[in-house]
Amino acid sequence: MKNQRRQYLVDKQTQWGIARGLISVWFVGGLAVAAFPVFATLVFGFFVQEHPLDELLALIAESLAFPLLMALLVAPLGIWWSILFSNRIVGPVVRFNRDIARLLAGEPVADLKLRDKDFFRSLESTYLEVRNRIDELKQSPRDAVTSQAAAPDFAETV
């Protein structure tokens, strides 16, 4: 069985937040990298070598054109990668929350299956323990009351 992604954005708010963070870092880092040579060219060329300002601005535009073009071309790739990567984080949490909500509603729920590269793989075993415990409680409510003191504390294991 191959697990296929049905949608790229599982949790839009979280995943676009990660993408916005990546864009912000990209933008601020790019400005920091570009600011030093621009400042150095202006100061050295204008004050030391006394070149005309329009000549210096043309030199700066010429030297920054290719790096800016490449940054703009690579940015969508970075955003796409951040969304795919965030699926490995957000997807398991969304599936876990959805299945726990179904369990609480009393609906039958299958095993939680995560993809091989998903993060939070421990959620699978925790979910299975919770589901098995709920099944036990449904089958023998009287025994559940007496064995409740002996039940493991899931909050301590997480």
User: From CA 35, how far away is CA 29, in angstroms rounded?
Assistant: 10
Over 80: is that where the pLDDT of 84 sits?
A: yes
Q: Determine the average pLDDT of the residues in 46-63.
A: 79
User: From CA 3, how far away is CA 75, in angstroms rounded?
Assistant: 28
Q: Determine the average pLDDT of the residues in 133-140.
A: 82
Over 80: is that where the pLDDT of 88 sits?
A: yes
Range of weakest confidence among 39-43, 71-75, 139-143: 139-143
Element (H, E) at 71: helix 53-104
* pLDDT value for 153: 58
The structure tokens listed for 142 are 């009287």
Task: Indicate the average pLDDT of the chain.
Answer: 79
Give the C-alpha distances (Å, rounded to integers) separating 26 from 21, 38, 71, 148: 8, 18, 9, 52
Range of weakest confidence among 26-30, 80-84, 142-146: 142-146
Over 70: is that where the pLDDT of 1 sits?
A: no
The owner of tokens 């191959």 is: 2
- Cβ–Cβ < 8 Å for 10, 91: yes
